[in-house]
Amino acid sequence: MNKTYIPALIFITLLSVLHFIASELHFYTTVIWFDEMMHILGGMGLAFFLYWLNVTFIKSQKISFSVIIFFTFLLGLSWEVWETYYDIAGAPVGTNAYYIDTIKDLFNDIIGAIIACFFLRKK
């Protein structure tokens, strides 16, 4: 049986719980490293999810890690657009701080995907 969904499910659940707690306790604005951790975990969760999609629907255990990293980047970029649209980015849109926050977030998404690919390689 295909159990490749388990890591993705664990990370999505963990992210949901942490996001709920962080929103209630204002961790995104009071804990300086919290946003970075969430983007790394999010990148990992996306990478595991993309691997599961590949195994389940394309029926292949082989997928290029560069493809996983690329699609994780695209989904992270979509998230950043969503943050900008709803004006919940880490800094005012158009400022240097905004651009630094966005680049940092995308970098952390990619780091998370690379970490997940390292674990997937061990399978």
d(CA 13, CA 48): 13
Phi, psi of 91 (to 5 degrees): -155, 165
Domain ranges within the chain, ordered by starting residue: 5-121
Q: Tell me: the pLDDT tens digits for 64-78?
A: 899 999 999 999 999
Task: Tell me the pTM.
Answer: 0.90
Q: Tell me: the pLDDT tens digits for 11-26?
A: 999 999 999 999 999 9
